[in-house]
Amino acid sequence: MDEPDLPHLQRLIANSPYLRWLGLEPTSLSRGAVEARARWREDWVANPDLGQTQGGVLASLVDFAASFALFVDLGAPAVTVDLRVDYHRLARRGDLVAQGSVIRRGRRISVCEARVGDLAGRLVASGRGTFLSEG
Euclidean distance between the first and final Cα of the chain, in Å?
15
CB 26 within 8 A of CB 9: yes
Task: Write each residue from 60 to 99 as x if it is in contact with a copy of itself (CB under 8 A), else as -, in one continuous string.
Answer: xx-xx--------------xxxxxxxxxx-----------
CB 104 within 8 A of CB 57: no
Please state the closest distance from residue 64 (CB atom) to a copy of itself, in A: 8
User: Alpha-carbon distance 80 to 5, whole Å?
Assistant: 21
Q: Which residues pair with 100 in a beta bridge?
A: 34, 114
Q: Is 58 left (phi over 0), alpha (psi -120 to 50) or beta?
A: alpha
Please state the closest distance from residue 131 (CB atom) to a copy of itself, in A: 10
Q: Name which of 58 and 72 has its Cβ closer to a copy of itself.
A: 58
Task: Write each residue from 43 to 62 as x if it is in contact with a copy of itself (CB under 8 A), else as -, in one continuous string.
Answer: xxxxxx----xxxxx-xxx-
Residues of the shown chain interacting with a copy of itself in the complex, contacts defined by CB under 8 A: 15-19, 21, 42-48, 53-57, 59-61, 63-64, 79-88, 103-104, 106, 108-109, 111, 123, 126, 128, 130, 132
